[in-house]
Amino acid sequence: MNTAPHLSPDVAHALASLRGEEIDASMGILRRDGLVTATTRVAYFGLYEQDKRTLLAGDVRARRFRAMLIDMSSGVQHDVLVSPAEDRVISVVQLDVAVDGQVPVVLEEFSLVEEIVHRDERWLAAMRRRGLTDISTLRVNPLSAGVASADEQGRRIQRCFTFVQKTPHDLGWAHPVDGVTVIVDVVAREVLDVIDHVELPVPEEDGNFHLPEWVGEPERPGLRPIQITQPQGPSFEIDDDGVIDWAGWRLQVGFDQREGLVLHNVSIDDGGLQRPVLYRASIAEMVVPYGDPAPQRWFQNFFDCGEYLLGGFANSLELGCDCVGEVTYVDATLADNDGGVRVIPQAICIHEEDAGILWKHFDNWNGSSDSRRNRRLVVSFFVTVGNYDYGFYWYFSLDGSIQLEVKATGVVFTSSYPGGGYPYASELAPGLGAPFHQHLFSARLDTMIDGVDNAVDEVEAVFVPRGPQNPTGTGFTQSVTRLRTEQEAQRFADNAKNRAWLVSNPSVRNRLGAPVGYVLHPEGRPVLLADAESDIHKRATFTTKHLWVTPYEPTELYPAGDFVNMHPGGAGLPRWTAADRDIDDADIVLWHTFGLTHFPRIEDWPVMPVDTAGFVFKPYGFFGRNPTLDVPASDHCAPAAAHGHAHHDHGEHP
């Protein structure tokens, strides 16, 4: 049996999160070589992970780092690989922005845009036509531009909406100035165009949920404290490189500016043998496509990882607010846009929580009654990207199951509601609309089920027609179909057939002779709801299938490509899988699309209660029997026989 690679200090160090001294050393080299100047901004900086094939073979090499740079005076952009240990730049690629796309948005662009727009006479005139003359109350919301038009080629632009913020404490999302789109070149620092599409009333009603005087008495009567305690401390241990040991699970926790939380070398103990399940797991991309085709908002499609760098917007979590119980926090160290070290305190929360019943049975024949409570290890982080807030929760359970749950909350993106049963938005408050939209995530799962050579079968329930093999018409069965190439493995979920995907290791057998495996259970909600010829379909093709499978290739990291910002489309998964490479009994990566299709409710305003999406990755023939028989009963659950439960024959009424 293939076992998990030994997480020696060298291997763990090679995959650990960024360290401040590595950022400083790398920036020193980039400045020395003239790649970072006074006008350069660091759009992204992160660990360029070593090829896992050499790393798992024990050939641990010096850490390298990837920097995406933009000169804000010229617009010139570079993709750079640097090695502090070797004191050199490994490679430099200058982007052809019309073809390659552009580096992610930098924070400077957010503040820059409002200053530029506030000086533009065309925008001022559009505001005056609406009776808006107090410029200090007008917030300009910069938004990623999507695809460039013919006259925008080569420019770095943002398309902007306007909102009214009546006071410094007012929720500006309640007052959209709909119908006006401003196009700004952030390098030239000029407004290219102001398009006054339509004049719609600015909604007047406030939405200041964060102000006690607006909400009223905040205490709901009758709610008494809930206390979660572990008097002897948590059951897990974590070292300086983020390696966690908990109840047989072992995994390494890391953090990236683009993906946020990254997990490595996830394995579980089975009779003293540490068996691998995943080499690497993360959210590699997420996109929020809006479904209102009105001329002022057709472009609204936000790639929160590739355009905005989701991990960089991580919250500092607070005990009792974001996490409860016996909590361990991990800071995130990142590079800021000037190349300095930025630390987000308490960015990752790690804790245990009760998860209800693990298993339970009262037996009528032998009189036994047993139950065990489940608990799970929770590794989570929360981000705020613009108006929305997302929590990402990885759950590791005692039975070997892994679950990812995304919790979406925050404030929905608003518009003016045109009225008359407008088909592309909901009305949330008088005159206030919220366009229909989706939140689509791509989980990148680099599987390692008892070794790196894995295979994928599609498993689904099958109705069997009445006939010689099913004379009563009550039989049903399942089909198992091997997905052998990249094209075959582009699949939709189908809940009517209970469709799921079994990832197995053909060379490792369980005690009954079948390959060991884990099953990916999808939620099966809608994929991208956009025409195949639309710009967003071309840019976010990964969202058009629930499942993609590719052979491992260390440069294939992001499903929409490396440079999503203003990319014309076709990058990432559609380009890679065109080769239709073999994925059967191979080192493979699963890309799973899941998410929410949101038709906003009145109840989602002014702040949205959490909505959830995710998936489960569950052992299937991986263990020889229920792996939780060794979980002790809780103190309050003594065996039933001790309480004198009566014995009943099967079928006998008590």
Give the integer Cα–Cα distance in Å for 506 and 508.
Answer: 6
> Taking CA 240 as the corner, what is the angle to CA 237 and CA 241, rounded to the nearest 5 degrees?
100
> Taking CA 251 as the corner, what is the angle to CA 247 and CA 256, rounded to the nearest 5 degrees?
145
- Residue in the block written with tokens 């996109």: 287
Instruction: Specify whether 363 is catalytic.
Output: no
Of 388, 390, 552, 558, which is the active-site residue? Answer: 388
75 DSSP 8-state letter: -
Those residues with Cβ within 8 angstroms of residue 412's Cβ, 6 or more apart along the chain or in another chain: 173, 387, 388, 428, 434, 598, 600, 604, 605, 608
Q: Where are the alpha helices (DSSP H) in 33-174?
A: 52-56, 97-100, 107-117, 121-129
Token pair belonging to 189: 């620092």
Give the integer Cα–Cα distance in Å for 627 and 248.
Answer: 11
Token pair belonging to 11: 């291997």
Produce one character per residue of 192-203: b if its CB has 16 or more CB atoms within 10 Å, e if not.
Answer: bebebeeebebb
Pairing of strands 273-289, 260-270: antiparallel
Give the integer Cα–Cα distance in Å for 88 and 23.
Answer: 14
Q: Yes or no: say if 451 and 469 are a contact pair by the CB < 8 Å rule.
A: no
Give the integer Cα–Cα distance in Å for 508 and 388.
Answer: 44
Give the integer Cα–Cα distance in Å for 67 and 63.
Answer: 13
* DSSP sequence for 447-487: E-TTSSEEEEEEEEEEE--SBTTBTTS--EEEEEEEE-BTT
Instruction: Specify whether 390 is catalytic.
Output: no
- Residue in the block written with tokens 């006054």: 196
Q: Which amino acid is present at 123?
A: W
Task: Kindly list the distances between the CA atom of residue 200 and the CA atoms of 58, 128, 207, 412, 599, in Å, as whole numbers in the listed order.
Answer: 64, 13, 19, 19, 22
Q: Indicate the Cα dihedral angle 597, 601, 603, 605, nearest 10°.
A: 90
Q: Yes or no: say if 459 and 477 are a contact pair by the CB < 8 Å rule.
A: no
3-state helix, strand, coil split of the chain in percent (to 5) is 15, 40, 45
Task: Kindly list the distances between the CA atom of residue 464 and the CA atoms of 268, 470, 481, 494, in Å, as whole numbers in the listed order.
Answer: 38, 7, 17, 18
Helix (H) or strand (E) holding 27: helix 20-32
Q: Yes or no: say if 626 and 529 are a contact pair by the CB < 8 Å rule.
A: no
Q: Which amino acid is present at 570?
A: G
Token pair belonging to 504: 């197995």
Q: Yes or no: say if 391 and 380 are a contact pair by the CB < 8 Å rule.
A: yes
Give the integer Cα–Cα distance in Å for 238 and 86.
Answer: 30
CB atoms within 10 A of CB 87: 11
Give the integer Cα–Cα distance in Å for 143 and 161.
Answer: 8
Q: Which of 342, 339, 306 lies closest to 35 in space, CA to CA?
A: 339
Q: Indicate the Cα dihedral angle 209, 215, 221, 225, nearest 10°.
A: 40
- Residue in the block written with tokens 């000037």: 338
Token pair belonging to 114: 């409002």
Of 170, 304, 446, 587, which is the active-site residue? Answer: 304
Q: Which residues are catalytic?
A: 304, 388
